[in-house]
Amino acid sequence: MLRHLGSHLWGHVRPLTAQQRFLSVVGVVLIASGIIHGVIAMGALASGDDWLGPLSWRKPVVFGLSFGMLSLTVAWILRLMPHRRWGWIPTALLGVFSVIEVTAITFQTWRGEPSHFNTATDVDAIIFSVMAISVLLVVLSLLLVLIGVLVQFRGNGGERLAVIVGLVCLIAAGYIGSDLISAGQAHLATTGSVPYEVVFGPEGSGKLAHFVGMHLVQFLAVLAIVSAERRRLALVALGSVGGVATFVSVTVTAYAGESWLAPAPAVGALGVVGIVIALVALALSMRSFASRPATLPPQSPQPQSPMTVG
């Protein structure tokens, strides 16, 4: 089954155009960087280094993996849209500035300097400014992709729902990230030091909310790809309900300044129910995949000529 699942997934995500191949290469490179630095981080942890804090090998790991998966996900989304030359605008913005963001963070870690909120020297301040601009342009690229999806989309109903819900949550995660930056800068202005950990209020984990919103799109993409055709839309809808409920729960808890381990009862219940619904959707999707014959995956619509003007 695993071999069948692997070939099925590859058949649906294999890049077909130069834009998709570009983002796929970017994604693979960034994920490889995250994995390599993960090995370094394990060695550092064994030596007693801190996983958290402003200076940690954690940052090249999580940022490399996250931006790598984002690039691969958008490459998949582009397969479901008509090929247009203007698609190079969001493609280039996402690919180039994802690399710049991860490179800046990794460079600072190797220098032994905090990457975020560090304005101790002119070099540090310039790097932090470049990082902020890079994130803004990545969010802009996602907005352009979302507009393109809403205007013209060639996937099925389940794929459309997965992409729209996932992109909206991605952009919301970007907003949460901007609030994290604001909170960190406020701490820097007040204390003159880089914050050890940025939280909302006493214990609100904005990072967890940011993480859930950023990666919900990958979860929904899996549901859309592996679910049997006759149940695809229903299972993606079920997964969307569960995922969004979880995202809302952790976001409300974060902005309330409460720990995600001790949320308000109603909000905590919403999160638990959301996780259960999402897991049920995943289990039913895998079951529907396992029950169908091992056939070649349906091909996505072939891209139009790169000379097509849209």
Residue 75 and residue 12 in contact, taking contact as beta carbons nearer than 8 Å? no
Exposure of 116 in the CB half-sphere (CA atoms within 13 A):
26
In whole angstroms, give the CA distance from residue 238 to residue 278: 7
Q: Which amino acid is at 281?
A: A
State the Cα–Cα distance between residues 24 and 18, nearest whole angstrom: 10
The identity of residue 190, as a single letter, is T
Residue 292, pLDDT score: 67
Residue 193, CA distances (Å) to 52, 114, 118, 252 in order: 16, 11, 8, 28
The percentage of the chain sitting over the pLDDT mark of 70, rounded to a whole number, equals: 94
Q: What is the pLDDT of residues 158-202, one digit of tens each?
A: 999 999 999 999 999 999 999 999 999 999 899 888 888 899 999
pLDDT in tens, 257-309: 999 999 999 999 999 999 999 999 999 999 888 876 655 444 544 444 443 33
Tell me the pLDDT band of 1, cut-offs 50, 70 and 90.
low
